[in-house]
Amino acid sequence: MLAFLAFFPLLCFAQESVGIPDTIAVGPALVDPPFEAVPAPKVPSNHVDETPLITQLIQIGYLSYDSALTVMPGYALVQARQQKLREAYEAELKRVEEEFNQKYEAFLEGQRDFPRTILLKRQNELQQLLQQNLEFKRQGLQDLQKAEKEAMAPLYEKLNVAIAKVARGKGLALVVNTDSNACPFIDPEMGVDIQEAVAKILIKN
């Protein structure tokens, strides 16, 4: 007790020096909270997570372009014309090849007896003929591809119109072509097979 009385004046002096208030309140009532408490938002009892609905709204259509083209009335006619044009190029290519082979065989038979000037002339003729045949083959292939592209353009246009009509009617976001394994997997819950629906439109037109 005597020790406490001796220490009490020093405690009072320390309070006056550092500015410690005479009364020290301790307790949660006088302590400011670090932040204002915000009540959690109330979730309605009928609230539904919208994330699955997004996948339900997005639908993808799919079909085979090649299969759709074959049902079109004009497809067989285009293919018949292309086949006829292809046969004409093949016949001409066969003719020039036979002409080259005949001249080449004649050259082989007479090359030992030809004077040098005639031999060189025949060699140049064969070389030029060979180059001409190769150029004809290359140009013929390009012509066939161009002719087929031009003949098929109206069919592709009709096909795209039919696809767009079906896609809009079914509310599809997009349509993919399944030819050449371009789409190895399509989720059945998100994919819609429109092959039959498109074919019905193409057959009528």
Residue for token digits 């087929």?
148
**pLDDT value for 56:** 56
Q: Rounded to an integer, what distance in angstroms lies between the CA atom of residue 80 and that of residue 67?
A: 17
Residue 123 is predicted with a pLDDT of: 94
Return the pLDDT at 101: 95
Asked if 197 and 68 touch (Cβ cutoff 8 Å), the reply is no
The CA-based dihedral angle spanning residues 121, 125, 126, 129, taken in that order and rounded to the nearest 10 degrees: 170
Task: Confirm if 63 and 193 have CB atoms less than 8 A apart.
Answer: yes
CA angle centred on 146, ends 143 and 148, rounded to 5°: 110
Average pLDDT per block of 10 residues along the chain, 205 residues long = 43 43 43 49 52 64 96 95 96 96 93 91 95 96 96 96 96 93 84 96 89
Task: Name the token pair of 127.
Answer: 């070389």
The three-class DSSP label of residue 202 is helix
The CATH code belonging to domain 55-204 is 3.30.910.20
Q: What is the pLDDT of residue 170?
A: 94
Cβ atoms of 198 and 163 within 8 Å: the answer is yes
